[in-house]
Structure formats: structure tokens, C-alpha cells
Structure 1
Amino acid sequence: MHQHLRRICLLLAVTSSVGTSSALAADADHGADLAKRWCASCHIVANGQTQASADVPSFASVAHRPNFSPERLAFFLLDPHPKMPNFPLSRTEAGDIAAYIASLR
């Protein structure tokens, strides 16, 4: 139950900070900088990048998923799955990375 409550609180926090009007205010350029610094060792985050882990999706492939949502992605980044390193992202940083990935559509 505690984990479920934590996820609900995270979802509310993300949707309030990365909601429809706030998503437009997210800084995709800052998200690109963060992605190149923190994510490029595993994911292909930009055109021209030639090396990454074979078993993780590129950011472009994430952006082109039919169910892609910047809000859901930002939420995911705040509570990553076990294979992802636990980066101490703020809500703003998660929103910026999600906005960057959305810009790749």
C-alpha cells in the first residue's frame, strides 16, 4: 500500500509540474544537455551518437511509441525501473528530459 501511495503522490507532483500548460514551459534544450550527460552512456540520445547499450531503446524510438506521453515519461524518470541508475532528478529536470524526447517526434 505504501508503494502505491508513493506512486500516486509522484504522479500528482509530475502532472502538476509537467501538465499540459507546464509541458510547454519545459526546457527541451536543457533536457538535451542532461540526456547527453546522464543518459548517453546507455541510450542513443541524439543523431550522430554511435555507441550505446544494445538492450535499451534510443530516445527517438521512445518518442515514436504510439502511447508516448511526456507526462508519463517524466513520472517514470522520477521512479525508474531497476535497470536504470537512480539519478536524483528534480521534477523540472525530468520534465525537461521528457520535453527533449518529445521534441524528437
Structure 2
Amino acid sequence: MHASVMRVIAIAIAAAASTPVWAADPDHGGDLARRWCASCHLIEGTQKQASADVPSFAQIAKKTDLTPEKIAFFLLDPHPKMPSFPLNRLEAADIAAYIGSLRK
């Protein structure tokens, strides 16, 4: 049942991300990333410290198989080594949009 709930959430995120009214906000995502993610991930070039064994947000952004929808879905159901953050689906979409904005 957990997997089916997560699929529904992923569909909702994808729908929200493609609808202008619910467009993800990369600026807000950057603010959230600095607050929640910077203790482990290098999220921007000016950052002084991050964990060496986790990918930077720029490295994540360069992965062509990771769409903002997949990243947002991942943030809502993080892997065991990642702390559990109380992100709602819009915050997850905003962080994913921020990561997507780093793709070059």
C-alpha cells in the first residue's frame, strides 16, 4: 500500500509541476536546500563545507535520467542514510526545481 500511495503523490507532483498555478519555485527550493540539505550536500559554489561521500546538487542535476519529478518523489521517500525531513509535496517540488536549475 505504501508504494501505491507514493505513486499517487508522484503523479500529483508531476501534475503540479506542469500546471502554471502550481509551478515549482526554484528560489524557494534554494532557500529550503540551504536550510535542510547544506549540512550534507554542496548545494552552491559559495558553500564552504559538505560531506565528502554525498553528491553535490550540481552532480545530481547533471544526471540525465533524473527529472525534477523523480527528484521530488525521492525527497518524499528518502533513502535510509538520508534524514527524514518534514517536506510537503510543494517543498519537495521546489527543491527539485532548484536542483533542475543547476543543470548546465
Secondary structure of 1:4's aligned partner: helix
- Give the aligned partner of residue 12 of structure 1: 11
TM-score by length of 1: 0.88
TM-score by length of 2: 0.89
Deviation at 1:9, TM superposition (A): 2.1
Comparing 5-14 with 54-63, greater Cα deviation is found at 5-14
Amino acid at match of 2:32: L
Q: Are the aligned partners of 1:17 and 1:91 in contact in 2 as well (CA < 8 Å)?
A: no
Amino acid at match of 1:68: L
Amino acid at match of 1:14: I
Partners of 2:82 and 2:20 lie apart in 1 by 26
Q: Are the aligned partners of 1:23 and 1:99 in contact in 2 as well (CA < 8 Å)?
A: no
Q: Are the aligned partners of 1:32 and 1:97 in contact in 2 as well (CA < 8 Å)?
A: yes
Secondary structure of 2:19's aligned partner: helix
Deviation at 1:77, TM superposition (A): 0.6
| Identity level (%) | 56
* Number of residue pairs aligned between Structure 1 and Structure 2: 103
Map 1:67-78 → 2, pairs under 5 A: 67-78=65-76
